[in-house]
Amino acid sequence: MNREELLKKSRKDMSKEEYEQVKNYGQRLGTIIFLSLTAIIVVFNLFMGKDSYEVQGLFWAFFASLCYSKYYTYRRKATLVALVASVIASASYLSLHVMKLCNLHF
């Protein structure tokens, strides 16, 4: 390979790295925005005297997906505990939401 081919290949590889950096930044930003909006909606509903079962169910499902990816990669017990707890919380809140919609009170 000559020098130009090596430089061209190097630039191509850098663009893949840059793409991954941009993608990771976008995912982090999306996570921060989602969590911020979730907190705002839950607090607003609390002050208005309304429940936030569906919002909290979505939050815990999102948190479970984050825990799953970390557990799949690192296999730590604390992450597994967080994963199981968040799945239970998500299922509970979504069940409460469905019960409310169907007028099933406990």
pLDDT greater at residue 27 or residue 1: 27
Element at 104 (helix H, strand E): none
Domain residues for the domain of 25 are 1-49
Distances (CA, A) of 84 to 7, 17, 42, 68: 49, 34, 23, 9
Q: How high is the pLDDT of residue 80?
A: 96
Whether residues 104 and 55 fall in one domain: yes
Whether residues 39 and 59 fall in one domain: no
Residue 15 in this model has a pLDDT that exceeds 90:
no
Whether residues 1 and 26 fall in one domain: yes
Whether residues 104 and 58 fall in one domain: yes
Phi–psi pair at 103, nearest 5 degrees: 55, 40
Whether residues 55 and 45 fall in one domain: no
User: What is the spatial distance between Cα 23 and Cα 3, in angstroms, rounded to a whole number?
Assistant: 30
Please list, in sequence order, all residues whose beta carbon lies within 8 angstroms of the beta carbon of residue 105, skipping any fewer than 6 positions away. Answer: 99
pLDDT tens for 63-104 read: 999 999 999 999 999 999 999 999 999 999 999 999 999 998
Whether residues 79 and 44 fall in one domain: no
Neighbours of 96 (CB within 10 A): 17
Whether residues 44 and 59 fall in one domain: no
The total domain count for the chain is 2
Cβ 67 vs Cβ 74: under 8 Å: no
pLDDT band at 46 (very low <50, low <70, confident <90, very high): very high
Whether residues 60 and 96 fall in one domain: yes
- State which of 33, 49, 65 marks the end of a domain: 49
Whether residues 90 and 61 fall in one domain: yes
Whether residues 57 and 36 fall in one domain: no
Residue 83 amino acid letter: L
